[in-house]
Amino acid sequence: MIKHLDFAKRLVNIMDTKFHVFGVRFGIDPFLDIWPGFGSFIGAFISSYLFWIAYKLKVPSRIYWRMGWHILLDFLLGELPLIGFIFDLFYRANEKNLALLYPFIDPEVLEGVVIE
């Protein structure tokens, strides 16, 4: 699970916060919306990886609903030509979903010592 969480952190960084211009942080997610339909689908598919991690962590159902809402909203508004780009620039659904997972990650498991 540690490898998945590390990969998820890198993925969220690439999708939502990798670059910054004039103090605005953004990733590649807004630029995926250049391809109508297909770009938003790719973004939602990548976002569902965090949903899968939530499933593996057995989070409460309210977290699933919130994560699903973030993914759906990002997908639907990403379909709108200019509004979707601006929305994706500031909403950062993947960052929100990763933040929802942090309380359910056991730090002892991630930083523990292997006993042989």
Instruction: Assess whether pLDDT exceeds 80 at residue 38.
Output: yes
DSSP 38: H
User: At residue 106, does pLDDT exceed 90?
Assistant: no
Q: Residue 85 has what pLDDT? A: 86
pLDDT at 98: 92
Q: What domain count does the chain have?
A: 1
Residue 23: what are its φ and ψ, rounded to 5°? 80, 0
Look up tokens 């609903």; give the residue. Answer: 65
58 CA to centre of own chain: 18
- For the chain, percent of residues with pLDDT exceeding 70: 89
* 35 assigned to some structural domain: yes
40 within domain boundaries: yes
Name the more confident of 104 and 47. 47
> What mean pLDDT is predicted for residues 83-106?
87
Q: Is 30 within the bounds of a domain?
A: yes
pTM (two decimals): 0.82
Residue 60 inside a domain? The answer is yes
Is the pLDDT assigned to residue 111 strictly greater than 60? no
- Is residue 113 a part of any domain in this protein? no
Q: How many residues does the chain have?
A: 116
Range of the domain at 47: 2-108
